[in-house]
Amino acid sequence: MDVTSSCRSLGVILSLALLAGCASSPRDVASRDADEAYFARQLPGLSSDWERAMSPVDNPIIEARSLGNPPPALIQQALLAQHERWVGTPYRIGGTSFQGVDCSALVQNVFEETFRVSLPRTTGEQVNQGHPVSRGDLAPGDLVFFRPPGRYNHVGIYLGGGRFMHASSSRGVMISRLENRYWQRHYWQARRTLEPTHLAERALAGGQG
């Protein structure tokens, strides 16, 4: 068999393998992979950092400290896992469950379940937690606040890469871009409840508990 025939055969085999892979991949897995690929592009090293941090070690919390810089990948992955649980939940003022949730209740639930951090129930109380952070210094896990038209302020959780998770009044729990014209216009401030290293440690501890 000459080189040209070998290349053709290899090409056919690869094409069949790709087609088989696509046919067996559920849509939700493809969507999740696309999200993870996006964050990997925006924040290089996310995948390798995450795999390294979650591989079996004697003490993953000590390992997280040993990384030197706060491990944002741990926080991002933990928050994306929460997004998968909550995505599509309808918005409901006063709601606190998967049947309906408002923005501050979503933040409260996610922080309690992911980081074992108890936040107040309302946006007005949450905006006084931690310390202010400039928009240019946002890190995954920071709370981002908005003042849209109407009587209620709005809060979400920053994921990195210019995106945040929140309970939208029109579309329920979702991920949006800070650069979106609407959110850019009504951006108010950001708060950091705990330093990223501490959030990552709590996420690790919660995942093992």
Please give the Cα distance from 113 to 205 (Å, whole number): 11
Please state which CATH number belongs to domain 27-208.
3.90.1720.10
- Higher per-residue confidence, 71 vs 15: 71
Please give the Cα distance from 30 to 80 (Å, whole number): 14
Decide if pLDDT at 206 tops 80: no
Lowest-confidence range among 43-47, 194-198, 205-209? 43-47
For residue range 86-99, what is the model confidence (pLDDT) as tens digits?
Answer: 999 999 999 999 99
| pLDDT at position 188 | 98
For residue range 139-170, what is the model confidence (pLDDT) as tens digits?
Answer: 999 999 999 998 999 999 999 999 999 999 99
| pLDDT at position 170 | 93
Q: Choose among 75, 177, 196: nearest CA to 130.
A: 196
| pLDDT at position 205 | 86
For residue range 55-79, what is the model confidence (pLDDT) as tens digits?
Answer: 333 344 445 444 444 479 999 999 9
| pLDDT at position 195 | 94
Q: Domain residues of the chain, as ranges? A: 27-208
The b-or-e profile of 146-176 (16+ CB within 10 A means b, else e) is beeeeebbbbbbbbbbebbbbbebeebbbbb
- The residues annotated as belonging to the active site are 103, 154, 166
